[in-house]
């Protein structure tokens, strides 16, 4: 399978978000292993990719799909953190107050990852779902590459 230049650029944008967040978290003075942080950031990026493809299937406007992906992804993680905080028994009466900061910090720290990944993967998903294929392409060529027409270089 041959990737288009636009797809490579979009994957690079998503990768830049993952790397920026990884370097930010692993160099904050906590002494965290960058490989361990990278694995968690890749898991977050996977969730962003799945949500982005689901939203792009429903919404054809690219900007709206990117915004919806970022909002829905952050809300999913916030609901997960709130659910774990609510079910976790605590002996310290002030522990819940400290745990309530986790979703806020997570949202701020992963903002580059969520923003850039939803932008890059959203462009790929938008091209995949909403880009008309050229009628001049042969069926075999349509399976290998997606050519977008209509006066645009690429969708």
**Mean pLDDT in consecutive groups of 10 residues from the start of the chain, 155 residues:** 84 92 82 86 94 92 92 91 78 75 86 93 88 54 47 47
CA 62 to chain centre: 14
pLDDT reported for residue 103: 82
Contact 113, 21 (CB under 8 A): yes
In degrees and rounded to multiples of 5, residue 30 shows phi and psi of -85, -10
Helix axes 5-26, 101-109, angle to 10 degrees: 140
pLDDT reported for residue 133: 59
pLDDT reported for residue 7: 87
pLDDT reported for residue 1: 67
Q: Could you give the CA distance from residue 34 to residue 53 in angstroms, rounded to a whole number?
A: 28
pLDDT reported for residue 132: 67
- The burial class, CB within 10 Å (0-12 / 13-18 / 19+), for 60 is exposed
CA 119 to chain centre: 8
Q: Could you give the CA distance from residue 128 to residue 123 in angstroms, rounded to a whole number?
A: 9
pLDDT reported for residue 54: 93
Whole-model pTM: value is 0.76
Nearest to 51 by CA among 80, 72, 30: 72
pLDDT reported for residue 135: 45
pLDDT reported for residue 84: 80
pLDDT reported for residue 19: 92
What is the Rg, in whole angstroms, of the alpha carbon atoms belonging to the chain? 19
């Amino acid at each position: 399978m041959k990737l288009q230049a636009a797809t490579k650029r979009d994957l690079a944008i998503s990768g830049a978000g993952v790397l920026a967040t990884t370097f930010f978290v692993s160099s904050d003075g906590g002494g965290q292993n960058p490989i361990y942080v990278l694995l968690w950031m890749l898991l977050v990026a996977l969730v962003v990719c799945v949500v982005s493809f689901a939203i792009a299937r429903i919404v054809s406007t690219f900007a709206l799909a990117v915004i919806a992906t970022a909002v829905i992804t952050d809300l999913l993680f916030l609901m997960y953190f709130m659910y774990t905080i609510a079910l976790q028994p605590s002996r310290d009466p002030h522990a819940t107050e400290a745990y309530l900061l986790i979703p806020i910090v997570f949202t701020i720290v992963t903002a580059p990852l969520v923003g850039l990944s939803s932008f890059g993967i959203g462009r790929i998903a938008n091209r995949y779902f909403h880009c008309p294929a050229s009628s001049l392409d042969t069926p075999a060529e349509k399976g290998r590459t997606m050519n977008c027409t209509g006066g645009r270089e690429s969708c």
